[in-house]
């Protein structure tokens, strides 16, 4: 009853107009900073308060927590990773709250479609504005109490202004401190974002296709095993899959042997270690993606339940395990690379991609074992990628790299340390202690710090508010 009352009070157009006004207050004559975190928290609060009856699963509460945390992370750092985490968190929370039946993977094409559709749909007033007839008494009051008095007031003001300069100066000798272009642009942008967020459009095709994105196979799919190619019957296709996976396993086994020999036994010049490592990491990541693609191709339909596909499943599982061994070898090699040269953003990114690759292989193995659809794997990978993004947005990686490199005395080039983000206190202390200078890179970083500290409260990340000025 309470929830129904709330929805009666706050219609969709109320959300749009209220959020547009809040956006204008937060962003007028401001750049992006803590104001975006405030706006995100307000949107989260609206969803939690007015749609709390739709929070039927634990995932809704988890998304609320992650959205709040991503807003706080952006309020502190204000970087691109935390910005992306904030935006995705809000979109996922809104999507899971309003469209409980649709799968999360559908959110990406919907965002793209609505990014353009909202430009036209905003002018379809009948679709989002309520139709109200103006009663005669209301119209009479508007004319009698406002329009007629204002007409005579303006008319006589013009007459009296010609007769007295002092009277005219009472109303004209001042300037309004208003940035008209910023006001219009911020208002339009706020309305566009609010309209797209609260009044997004879902084509009927998404609801029709949603049944094909379930995690479990239908009874019809379980009992039907259709050929992928019209010119190959199932027996030939099954045997083709077994031969393909057998050959791939043999080739991968040989590659693992040569790969590990080159990594751990063959002498490599330190100068070539960087390029060699990057080439091998790229090959492993590409191989892992292709490995998942091969599994998805052969286990998209009836082969999941084919009693004659036992060998195909065994070979597929061996293929997954061997790719996992290859990834572990690459993690060890990347760690060796770090021990030689220290940490960087790219080397941490390699760890992140390799861990995601392992997670993808684990879910692929689970998909085959538990006979899940391909959509199951894609949906799980979306959530895993989102969790990785959240984790990356919470950690001060620049400071972590600085502390580690200083501790092991690797990768402590002053120019490199000055290029890292959010490590300023430790960087300054290290430079002062060792009488170092980051040259132009340090000058640019210190200039950026001063500019952020001097900007208004709403336009800067909190990190700069708590960072002490350089002595």
* Lowest mean pLDDT segment, chosen from 111-115, 290-294, 306-310: 306-310
Query: Is pLDDT of 283 > 90?
Result: no
pLDDT at 166: 64
CA atoms of 70 and 59, how far apart (whole Å): 16
Among the ranges 196-200, 214-218, 243-247, which has the highest mean pLDDT value? 196-200
Query: Is pLDDT of 315 > 80?
Result: yes
Query: Is pLDDT of 320 > 70?
Result: yes
pLDDT at 70: 97
Each residue's pLDDT tens digit, 140-188? 666 777 777 887 787 777 777 777 666 666 666 555 567 778 888 999 9
CA–CA–CA angle 16, 20, 26 (5° rounding): 145
> Mean pLDDT, to the nearest integer, of 21-49?
94
Handedness of CA 415, 416, 420, 425 (dihedral sign): negative
CA atoms of 389 and 343, how far apart (whole Å): 19
pLDDT at 73: 96
> Mean pLDDT, to the nearest integer, of 40-68?
91
pLDDT at 294: 79
Mean predicted lDDT score pLDDT of the chain = 83
CA atoms of 8 and 46, how far apart (whole Å): 14
Query: Is pLDDT of 20 > 90?
Result: yes
CA atoms of 85 and 83, how far apart (whole Å): 5
pLDDT at 25: 93
CA distances (Å), origin 423, targets 38, 78, 190, 327, 402: 25, 14, 34, 31, 7
pLDDT at 392: 94
* 434, 458 Cβ separation under 8 angstroms: no
pLDDT at 403: 95
* Lowest mean pLDDT segment, chosen from 50-64, 103-117, 147-161, 215-229: 215-229
Residues 6+ apart with CB under 8 A from 65: none
Helix orientation angle between 58-76 and 34-50, rounded to the nearest 10 degrees: 160
pLDDT at 415: 92
Domain residue spans of the chain: 2-129+199-205, 136-169, 222-372, 397-466
| Percent of the chain surpassing pLDDT 70 | 83
pLDDT at 345: 93
- The b-or-e profile of 409-424 (16+ CB within 10 A means b, else e) is eebbebebbbbbbbbb
CA atoms of 89 and 97, how far apart (whole Å): 12
- Return the structure tokens found at 334: 């990347």
Could you tell me what percentage of the chain is helix, strand and coil, using 3-state DSSP and rounding each to the nearest 5?
A: 80, 0, 20
> Mean pLDDT, to the nearest integer, of 311-321?
87
Each residue's pLDDT tens digit, 416-461? 999 999 999 999 999 989 888 878 888 999 899 999 889 999 998 9
Query: Is pLDDT of 8 > 50?
Result: no
DSSP-derived secondary structure letter, 135? P
Name the residue with higher pLDDT: 405 or 10: 405
pLDDT at 82: 96
Distance between first and last Cα of the chain:
61
Query: Is pLDDT of 263 > 60?
Result: yes
């Amino acid at each position: 009853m309470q929830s129904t009352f709330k929805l009666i009070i706050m219609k969709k157009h109320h959300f749009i107009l209220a959020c547009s006004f809040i956006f204008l207050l937060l962003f007028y004559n401001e750049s992006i900073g803590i104001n975006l975190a405030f706006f995100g928290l307000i949107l989260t609060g609206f969803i939690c308060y007015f749609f709390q009856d739709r929070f039927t699963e634990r995932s809704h509460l988890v998304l609320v927590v992650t959205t709040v945390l991503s807003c706080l992370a952006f309020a502190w750092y204000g970087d691109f990773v935390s910005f992306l985490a904030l935006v995705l968190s809000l979109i996922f929370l809104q999507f899971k709250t309003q469209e409980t039946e649709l799968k999360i993977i559908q959110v990406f094409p919907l965002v793209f479609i609505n990014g353009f559709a909202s430009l036209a749909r905003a002018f379809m007033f009948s679709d989002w504005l309520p139709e109200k007839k103006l009663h005669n008494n209301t119209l009479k009051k508007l004319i009698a109490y406002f329009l007629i008095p204002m007409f005579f007031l303006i008319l006589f003001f013009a007459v009296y202004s010609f007769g007295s300069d002092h009277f005219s100066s009472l109303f004209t000798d001042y300037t309004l401190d208003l940035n008209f272009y910023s006001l219009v642009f911020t208002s339009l942008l706020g309305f566009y974002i609010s309209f797209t967020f609260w009044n997004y459009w879902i084509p009927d095709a998404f609801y029709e296709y949603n049944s094909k994105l379930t995690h479990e196979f239908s009874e019809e799919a379980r009992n039907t095993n259709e050929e992928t190619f019209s010119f190959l019957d199932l027996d030939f296709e099954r045997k083709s899959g077994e031969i393909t996976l057998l050959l791939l396993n043999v080739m991968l086994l040989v590659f693992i042997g040569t790969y590990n020999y080159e990594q751990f036994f063959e002498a490599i010049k330190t100068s070539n270690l960087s390029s060699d490592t990057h080439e091998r990491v790229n090959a492993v990541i590409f191989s892992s993606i292709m490995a998942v693609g091969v599994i998805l191709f052969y286990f998209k339909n009836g082969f999941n339940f084919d009693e004659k596909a036992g060998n195909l499943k065994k070979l597929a599982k061996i293929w997954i395990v061997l790719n996992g061994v290859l990834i572990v070898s690459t993690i060890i090699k990347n760690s060796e690379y770090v021990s030689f040269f220290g940490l960087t953003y790219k080397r941490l990114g390699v760890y992140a991609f390799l861990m995601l690759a392992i997670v993808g292989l684990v879910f692929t193995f689970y998909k085959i074992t538990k006979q899940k659809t391909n959509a199951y794997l894609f949906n799980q990978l979306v959530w895993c990628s989102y969790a990785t993004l959240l984790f990356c947005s919470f950690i001060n990686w620049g400071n972590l790299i600085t502390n580690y490199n200083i501790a092991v005395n690797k990768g402590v080039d002053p120019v490199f340390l000055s290029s890292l983000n959010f490590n300023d206190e430790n960087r300054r202390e290290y430079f002062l202690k060792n009488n170092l200078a980051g040259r132009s890179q340090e000058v640019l970083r210190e200039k950026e710090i001063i500019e952020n500290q001097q900007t208004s409260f709403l336009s800067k990340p909190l990190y700069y508010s708590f960072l002490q000025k350089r002595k």
